[in-house]
Amino acid sequence: MRQSGPLTAIIFACTALLTFLTPAPVPAQDATRPRPGGEPIRLVALGDSLTAGYGLPQEAAFPAVLERALKAKGYNVQIANAGVSGDTASGGLDRLDWSVPDGTDGVILELGANDMLRGIDPEVPRNAIETIVERLKERHIPVMLAGMRASRNLGHAYTEQFDSLYGDIAQKHGLVLYPFFLDGVAGDASLNLQDGLHPTAKGIEIIVGRILPTVEKFLATLPRR
């Protein structure tokens, strides 16, 4: 049966009204678009010597190289270097409040390597890293977690317990995870300083190249402020 003209007009008007009243979903922040006033997305790289850039000039440290790589792809970002050489996960927790200031849009968290090198019970860095995540979540600051792997000479039980902590925390808290910060660099003498532990400038470039897609994924999850 064909609808009359007035009835059709009423149905059309109601449909238009519902469409107008339905709230649009809040999109994630597009980091490639300028914010009001040209303000960038402010990230903090919170970590140990691998973040700090041990043995390297600051412009060759991970946060600086990552920032340049993101800007080259059109992202409007600033990355603060909050890496402290020698820091354990507990040390990072102790300085969390002043290392990550208010107004931070996201944190790239890289800690645990020094706990592993000292043979500290993996439950200690697990608890510290999870507490960092929880405290940042309370401040509405998203976290991307960069994992570490234990040296195989520490034994199967230790390595299994240590390696799993990053995935467990990421899954529990819904974090973007990069499983192994030193992927492609660990164990390669040509990409590490003489101590065999810290990347050269070339090593940092490889780390940034490999982690970049995960960081872009993280940026896409950041809410608008």
Give catalytic residues, as residue numbers.
49, 195, 198
Q: What are phi and psi of 150, to 5 degrees?
A: -75, 150
β-pairing, 106-110 with 77-83?
A: unpaired
Concatenating the DSSP letter of every residue in 22-60 gives: SPPPPPBP-TTSPPGGGPPEEEEEEESHHHHTTTS-GGG
- Nearest in space to 47 (alpha carbons), one of 14, 84, 75, 80: 84
The structure tokens 């107008």 sit at 20
